[in-house]
Amino acid sequence: MSITIGTRGSKLALAQTETVMKKLAALGIPSEKQIISTQGDTTTGVPLHAIGGQGVFVRALDDAILAGEIDCAVHSMKDIPAFRPHGLFTAAVLKRDSPADYIAHTIPLGKVKVIGTSSTRRTAQLLRHDPDLMVKDLRGNVDTRLRKLNEGEYDAIILAEAGLTRLGIRIPGDRFPPEKFVPSPNQGTIAVVSRSDPSLMEMLSALDHPQTRNDVLIERAVMEQLGGGCYTPLGIYCRAGHLIAEVLSLDGARTERIEVDVKTIEEAREKGRLLKGKAQDLIDEACRQLGISKEEYP
């Protein structure tokens, strides 16, 4: 049985899909890829929160799986929304690459004043670090972002370190420690989503990395309790059961944060509910400022 794998057409998405296909081939499982365009790929002139948040990179692939057009899809797991359509299953979570953000810069870091990112989380964390920074919106694939950096539109841009590694890109810059600049939940992780077919899920499960799955499920449990999608500046990071989670105001001036060891998913949900109780005003405020109604987030 050859597995048809859906993927976005970006260089990063294709590189991630090639990684999955090579791992399957090593197990004697043939596969082929099918490129599917998503709203996140075709609508690039506005911030992510204005076109529906993180799910814009996933919905078309979800639909193709449910329609039987493909067997599974490869995603950056951080792009997968908290709440998923019935009939889909995360069949494999690959071993995590670096979860950290990376600041690429063309001038000495101490002289950086204008930074590009489309992430409300990264913006808030940067402004918390230095309120005098000018953070400008930046969308597009990695090549587009690097081109704009090299053309001088920005002094620096923020990228996921894992994406650069997967693309084999080495550029001047610095790694942000994830304990301080807490990453998006599941950042650095590749997931394979399939329909609920036992034989298909059994084949794909051979790619699963149990420790990574446990850590990212803890992160997702906290994310589900916090709600707000990618509208709210929030970072969630778990490593070997050690959880750090924070919610920030859009300007980075205020933060609610927890750091604790957790052993179970239910314990993670409890910590998420605790953090949400402390940070509800920040979540509501961010959504109001971004023009997001309460009906549009959990």
> What domains can you pick out in the chain, each with its CATH number?
1-94+189-208 (3.40.190.10), 101-175 (3.40.190.10), 209-293 (3.30.160.40)
Question: What count of residues does the chain have?
Answer: 298
pLDDT of residue 294: 57
- Residue 82 is predicted with a pLDDT of 77
In the DSSP assignment, the letter for residue 77 is G
Least Cα distance to 173 among 101, 97, 98, 96 occurs for 101
What confidence tier does 90 reach under pLDDT thresholds 50, 70, 90? Answer: very high
Provide φ and ψ at 201, rounded to 5°.
-65, -35
Based on the number of CB atoms within 10 Å of its own CB, is 185 exposed (0-12), middle (13-18) or buried (19 or more)?
buried
Q: What percent of the chain has pLDDT over 90?
A: 78
Mean pLDDT of 277-289: 91
Average pLDDT over residues 42-47: 48
Q: Residue 293: is its pLDDT beyond 90?
A: no
Binning pLDDT at 50, 70 and 90, where does residue 296 land?
low
pTM of the model: 0.88
Q: Give CA–CA dist 54/204, Å, rounded.
A: 24
- Cβ-based burial of 160 (10 A; exposed 0-12, middle 13-18, buried ≥19): buried
In this predicted model, what pLDDT tens digit does every residue of 170-203 receive, in sequence order? 999 999 999 999 999 999 999 999 998 999 999 9
C-alpha–C-alpha distance, residues 35 and 9, integer Å: 6
CB 118 within 8 A of CB 47: yes
Query: Which pLDDT belongs to residue 55?
Result: 60
Convert the pLDDT of each residue in 29-43 to its tens digit: 999 999 998 655 444
pLDDT band at residue 240, thresholds of 50, 70 and 90? very high
Range 234-255 burial, b when 16+ CB lie within 10 A, else e: bbbbbeebebbbbbbbbebeeb
Enclosing H/E stretch for 127: helix 120-129
Q: What is the C-alpha separation between 209 and 93, in angstroms, rounded? A: 6
Taking residue 9's Cβ as centre, other Cβ atoms within 10 Å add up to 13
Contact 140, 44 (CB under 8 A): yes
Q: Which residues are catalytic?
A: 79
DSSP letter at 153 equals S
Across residues 92-113, what is the average pLDDT? 96
C-beta atoms surrounding 293 within 10 Å: 8
Taking residues 227-250, what's their average pLDDT? Answer: 88
Listed in sequence order, the residues at least 6 apart from 150 whose beta carbon sits closer than 8 Å to its beta carbon are: 106
Residue where the block lists tokens 């970006």:
10
What's the mean pLDDT when you consider all of the chain? 90
At 52 the pLDDT is 45
pLDDT (average), residues 252-262: 97
Picking from 232, 234, 229, the residue whose alpha carbon sits closest to that of residue 296 is 229
Q: What is the DSSP letter of 271?
A: H
In which band, very low, low, confident or very high, does the pLDDT at 280 lie, cut at 50, 70 and 90?
Answer: very high
- pLDDT of the residue at 199: 94
143: which strand partners? none
In the chain, the amino acid numbered 123 is T
